[in-house]
């Protein structure tokens, strides 16, 4: 995984609440191989009228937001089934940060396992950020994981909480397995002592 330290990039406001994993990755793509690039299937039924023609009204199809790496979503993002592939679709599309007032638990934890930073902020902050982004299409946010802060171009700064283990893994660009492998010598030494 790529380490995450900070990001200053375009943010896209998603105003619809309860975006579920089937909207993120429709079930007909679950049998695909990740090597094919799950990013092309992100929001597939919202982004396309059919398999080819884009739906121009969907915000990720609009010019300032196509390359966005940050999503500011309404509440209960990632609800529905527990498919990790929905997180793969978000990550493979190029999104690095998700900001919402609430995430579905399994989706939230799967984000960390795949190098995404999910940030929980109060609903009034989410609404303020979304309104700022709607008034300034293509506006950017600065997300600093070390400082645990989100800053908008209008000077607003918001602090967020994160589990220290998840923070460490993201900063180092590792997952839980990589972290455990760093401890192999200690694990082996413990096994030797307890035999």
Q: Delineate the domains of the chain, giving CATH numbers in brackets.
A: 6-194 (3.20.19.10)
Nearest to 108 by CA among 86, 130, 92: 86
- pTM comes to 0.92
Contact 64, 137 (CB under 8 A): yes
What span, in angstroms and rounded, lies between the C-alpha atoms of 121 and 98?
11
Taking residue 154's Cβ as centre, other Cβ atoms within 10 Å add up to 11
Q: Give the pLDDT score at 52.
A: 82
Residue-wise pLDDT for 90-135, tens only, equals 999 999 999 999 999 999 999 999 999 999 999 999 999 999 999 9
Q: How far apart are CA 194 and CA 188, in angstroms?
A: 10
Mean pLDDT within 51-62: 91
User: Contact at 8 Å (CB) between 41 and 85?
Assistant: no
Rounded to 5°, the CA angle 28-32-34 comes to: 130
């Amino acid at each position: 995984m790529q380490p995450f330290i900070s990001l200053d990039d375009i943010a896209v406001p998603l105003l619809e609440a309860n975006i579920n994993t089937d909207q993120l990755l429709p079930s007909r793509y679950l049998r695909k191989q990740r090597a094919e690039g799950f990013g092309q299937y992100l929001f597939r039924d919202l982004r396309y009228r059919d398999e080819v023609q884009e739906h121009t009204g969907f915000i990720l199809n609009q010019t300032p937001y196509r390359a966005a790496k940050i999503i500011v979503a309404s509440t209960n993002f990632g609800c529905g089934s527990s498919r990790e592939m929905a997180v793969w679709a978000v990550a493979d599309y190029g999104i690095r940060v998700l900001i919402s007032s609430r995430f579905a638990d399994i989706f939230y934890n799967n984000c960390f396992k795949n190098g995404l930073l999910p940030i929980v902020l109060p609903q009034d902050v989410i609404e303020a950020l979304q309104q700022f982004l709607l008034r300034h299409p293509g506006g950017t946010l600065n997300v600093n994981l070390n400082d645990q802060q989100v800053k908008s171009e209008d000077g607003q700064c918001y602090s967020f909480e994160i589990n220290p283990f998840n923070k460490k893994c993201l900063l180092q660009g590792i997952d839980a397995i990589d972290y455990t492998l760093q401890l192999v010598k200690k694990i082996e030494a413990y096994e030797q002592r307890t035999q």
